[in-house]
Amino acid sequence: MKISKTHQRLADRLNDQTALEYPEHFLGPNWKNVLNFWFYLDTLSYEDLEIVFNRYLALGWVDHLKDLTRNVAKDTIGNDYEYATFRATPTYESAYTTSELIGSHNLESLKFLPLFLNL
């Protein structure tokens, strides 16, 4: 199985290489979407990430969205795994998107993922 940089960092942060073989145990029911997003992150250039950052800034005051997505992810996979996935991602924008994807089955809409579209 191909492994993204973020997936490898997650396994390293957890000090548990079984996260590479059994991501569903660490990422919850939406693990395939999370892994696909992490593969996509590997393809992005610095310029792409800068565009995403500017889109993130344009959202304005989004603390309630950040809290909501992280809490839904914590409810889905637990505090320790959510914290590890959050820290494994390369940017805050990708971290919030990862949390959003983890808990997407309990969210009405996705707010952070669209930041990464049409780059």
Has residue 64 got a pLDDT over 90?
Answer: no
How many other C-beta atoms are found inside a 10 Å radius of the C-beta of residue 11? Answer: 20
Of 97, 103, 111, the closest CA to residue 74 belongs to: 103
Q: Identify the domain containing residue 13 by its residue range.
A: 5-116
Residue 18, Cβ density class (10 Å: 0-12 exposed, 13-18 middle, ≥19 buried): exposed
C-alpha distances (whole Å) from 35 to each of 39, 42, 60, 63, 91 are 6, 11, 28, 25, 16
pLDDT tens string 99-118:
999 999 999 999 999 999 99
Domain total of the chain: 1
pTM: 0.94
Task: Quote the percentage of the chain above a pLDDT of 70.
Answer: 100
Query: One-letter amino acid identity for 52?
Result: V
Who's near 106: CB < 8 A, 6+ residues apart?
72, 75, 76
Task: Decide if pLDDT at 18 tops 80.
Answer: yes
What does the pLDDT look like over 22-59, one tens digit per residue? 999 999 999 999 999 999 999 999 999 999 999 999 98
63: pLDDT strictly greater than 90? no
Query: From CA 36, how far away is CA 19, in angstroms rounded?
Result: 15
What would the two tokens of residue 36 be?
Answer: 């696909």
